[in-house]
A = this chain, B = another copy of it.
Amino acid sequence: MNTGVVLNIDPLLRITALTGGVGGAKLIVGLAALLPAEQLLVVANTGDDFEHLGLRICPDLDSVMYALGGVADQQRGWGRADESWQCMASLSEFGAEDWFSLGDRDLATHLIRTQALKAGMSLTALTQQLLAKLNVAHAVVPMSEAPVKTMLETERGELGFQHYFVRERCEPAVKRVHIEGIKDAEPAPAIEQFHRLPGRHATVICPSNPYLSVDPILQVPGLHASLAGAPIIAVSPIIGGSAVKGPAAKLMRELGADVSSVGIAQHYQGVINALVIDHQDAGQANAIAALGIEPVICATLMRSNEDKEQLAMTVIDTAERLLDARQY
């Protein structure tokens, strides 16, 4: 399927894909299967990054990297395949913090990254170096080199992302989300460089959590502005009133949003030009169109690699169609 499809894609098309971790990474795999490296830039959320046991951990960057490298665990949905947990067992034995699962293989990534950053290497350069070792040619860059922190004001007080997501298992109701340090952040230089490349540019917002994965990227000062003038297509992470994975639906409810693709369209109103929604939500198309956003209906649940490429093709088709209409 792959080869046949690629031939139809405009070689001048350039896609900037904004993504969180697991769900977004699936679409990234589809996009990378269809687009050569020079036509795709993956921008990953780093608001979830944190320092744990002295290590710099970048869950979303790593999820995308492992997915593209073909070393992600498919069953578990996060981390590496063929993983073991011997270091964790010893950490527990010694009474160290063990609420955040660090696989033995995964640890190598964090050790290398922590040391490289300490030695002054950029997160962008380090990620590219690791990707190369996994034989991935596509570029995956952090939204910013600056450390920012997604913080959740909850009924149990303010929590960092991983403390909310992993330690508290998303249980506390969320009142507000804010991104610490975002005002001082700048987009990673590679993003601007990619946008300056000649070609027809479009942006894809992957089916990641809008509040926790995409908003931090869009809030990096100057990043959204650098996307303007080119169409932005989002894929809804909500299917039939619930999230495929993760706390998106619960969070939308707590923050007073409509848990539906219409709610997603409302959230991204003024930012996106089209929203890809699942067949199940076809009935919401008119309400989405009424917000000035073009609804695109297809199958959005990605189980197989074929699903991923099919959805990526729909997104690419939409981008080309919007570019052809010259509204941008």
Chain A interface residues toward B at CB < 8 A: 53-55, 80, 82-84, 86-91, 93-96, 103-109, 111-112, 114-115, 118, 130, 133-134
Q: How far is A112 from B89 in the complex, measured between Cα atoms in Å?
A: 13
Q: Which residue of B lies closest to A69 (CB)?
A: B93
Smallest CB gap from A112: residue in B: B96
Closest to A132 in B: B95
Contact A86 B89 (CB under 8 A): no
Q: Give Cα A9–Cα B135 distance, bound, in whole angstroms.
A: 64
Q: List 12 A-B contacts (CB under 8 A).
A: A80-B90, A84-B86, A86-B86, A87-B107, A90-B105, A90-B107, A90-B108, A91-B112, A94-B109, A94-B130, A96-B112, A104-B107
The distance in angstroms between the C-alpha atoms of A140 and B118, with both chains bound, is 31
Partner of A108, one of B87, B112, B118: B87
| Interface pair B87/A55, CB less than 8 Å apart | no
Assess whether B84 is in contact with A114, with CB atoms less than 8 Å apart: no
Contact B114 A54 (CB under 8 A): yes
Chain B nearest CB from A308 CB (Å) reads 24
Residues of B close to A82: CB separation below 8 A: 86
**Neighbouring B residues of A114 by C-beta, 8 Å:** 54
Q: In angstroms, how far is the closest chain B Cβ from the Cβ of A140?
A: 15
Q: How far is the CA of A95 from the CA of B91 in the complex (A)?
A: 26
When all copies of this chain in the complex are counted, the total is 2
The 7 nearest A-B residue pairs measured at CB: A90-B108, A86-B104, A54-B115, A104-B104, A90-B105, A91-B108, A87-B104
Taking a contact as CB atoms under 8 Å apart, the answer to whether B133 and A108 are in contact is no
Q: Which residue of B lies closest to A95 (CB)?
A: B133
Does A96 contact B84, Cβ atoms closer than 8 Å?
Answer: no
Which listed residue (B80, B86, B103, B111) contacts A55, Cβ 8 A?
B111
A105 adjacent to B130 (CB under 8 Å) = no
Residues on the B chain within 8 Å of A91, using CB: 108, 111-112
Closest to A90 in B: B108
Q: A54-B114, A93-B133, A133-B95 are in contact. Are A107 and B109 (CB under 8 A)?
A: no
Chain B residues with CB under 8 Å of A104's CB are 84, 86-87, 90, 104, 107
Q: Are B133 and A105 in contact (CB under 8 A)?
A: no
* Residues of B with C-beta under 8 A to A80: 90
Output the nearest chain B residue to A96 by Cβ-Cβ distance.
B112
Minimum distance in angstroms from A32 CB to a CB of chain B: 20
Q: A86-B104, A90-B107, A96-B112 are in contact. List 7 more A-B contacts (CB 8 A).
A: A54-B111, A54-B118, A82-B86, A87-B87, A87-B111, A89-B105, A94-B130
Q: How far is the CB of A88 from chain B (nearest CB, A)?
A: 8
Q: Closest approach, in angstroms, between the C-beta of A134 and any C-beta of chain B?
A: 8
Shortest distance between the CB of A277 and any CB in chain B (Å): 39
Which B residues are in CB contact (< 8 Å) with A88? 108
Q: Are B89 and A53 in contact (CB under 8 A)?
A: no
Q: Are B118 and A96 in contact (CB under 8 A)?
A: no
Q: How far is the CA of A107 from the CA of B87 in the complex (A)?
A: 6
A20 to chain B, nearest CB (A): 23
Q: Which residues of B contact A87 (CB under 8 A)?
A: 87, 104-105, 107-108, 111
